[in-house]
Homo-oligomer: A and B are copies of this chain.
Amino acid sequence: MGSDLFAVIMAGGRGTRFWPASTEEMPKQFLRLTGQRTMLQETADRFTGLCGRDRVMVVTGLGHRDTVLRQLPWIEEENLLLEPAGRNTAPCIGWAASVLRKRGFGSSLMAVVPSDHVIDSPEGFRETLRIAEGPAERGSLVTIGIPPDRPATGYGYLHTGDCSPGKVCSVLAFREKPDLETASEYIASGEYLWNAGMFIWKADVILDAISRHLPGLAAGLSAMGSGNPPEMDEYASLEAVSIDYGVMEKAGDVSAVPALFGWNDIGDWPSARMCGVGKGEVMCFDSGECTVWNDGRLTVLLGVSNISVVQSGGVTLVMSDDHAQELREVVARMEKEHPELT
């Protein structure tokens, strides 16, 4: 294995934009969206060769304990951190880092990754992390940046200056999700990477950064007992803030390593199409650009394009691509009117 690395897989999302396939009980990261393995399983598999299975940690919601144990039966129970409530990424990462420190691994590296992204090359992922270990070992906060292929407005950007593959660069600035014009300027400049929410650093280093930039969270983490799950009161009172907004954007020494792999956060059904997401047999007639996902039945498309047809748990969703962003609101309404279907 070589390095002294822990994997911290964040599996706490709700996957609202993948409803009705993704439900409160079985969110996106636990689904087989792209193949025979679930997204969580694929995320864990990707660490093979980077760290042993006894060093893979998963942070998830208390209610998903059994699902994780079913999908990753080899996981060590102490490495399965159960959140009594979702509090965004800073508390999640801070808690995982605290646990490592308490176990005597404060100076170990931790790679923090979401569990619901598609990465096309496991070997490219490993190669990228191996490069990123260098600056992380030297005390940097390191973020994996994705070389952008279009002026996407849905992601944050890292301003790095020229940063070619294989290099380690300093992050000059974090940029929030830009408008299209700004995004186009970023792309044209060649000086930006997408912020994909994948990080590597020493546990002690991120805890120090949290102490400096989120002292309230640091205090809350220090006060927490060693229970797993923690007491609801302890955890729910932690400041719900993202690690990007709460720490990274304020920290000085942040490095970026360009990803040596194709990446897609498959944020909604239309974008999932690019990753070949589709389940169930499909026959297309005069149709194109469609996502079909169901439990195996035949779907026949006749004269339709740019739509998603999703069937799961007694619900059929038919959605035009240009309304994918509104699915959250639909699910919010469903939660009131048909909670059993969300």
* Interface of A toward B, CB cutoff 8 Å: 20, 283, 285-286, 294, 297-304, 307, 309, 311, 314-320, 322-323, 326-327, 329-330, 334, 337-338, 341
Residues of B within 8 A of A320 (CB): 302-304
* Contact (Cβ within 8 A) B326 A300: no
A298/B315 contact (C-beta < 8 A), A304-B307, A307-B304, A330-B285 known: yes
Does the CB pair A316–B303 fall under 8 Å? no
Query: Can you report 25 residue pairs joining A to B where beta carbons are below 8 Å apart?
Result: A283-B334, A285-B329, A285-B330, A286-B323, A297-B315, A298-B316, A298-B338, A299-B317, A299-B318, A300-B315, A300-B316, A300-B317, A300-B318, A300-B319, A301-B318, A301-B319, A302-B318, A302-B319, A302-B323, A302-B326, A303-B319, A303-B320, A303-B326, A304-B307, A309-B318
New A-B pairs, 10, CB < 8 Å, besides A300-B334, A302-B320 = A285-B326, A285-B330, A297-B315, A298-B315, A299-B317, A302-B318, A303-B326, A304-B318, A304-B320, A307-B318
Cβ 8 A contact of A298, one of B302, B326, B329, B341: B341
- On chain B, the residues within 8 Å of A283 by CB distance are 330, 334, 337
In angstroms, Cα B304 to Cα A71, docked, is 36
Residues of chain B within 8 A (CB-CB) of A302 are 317-320, 323, 326-327, 330
Which residues of B have CB within 8 Å of A316? 294, 297-300, 309, 311, 316
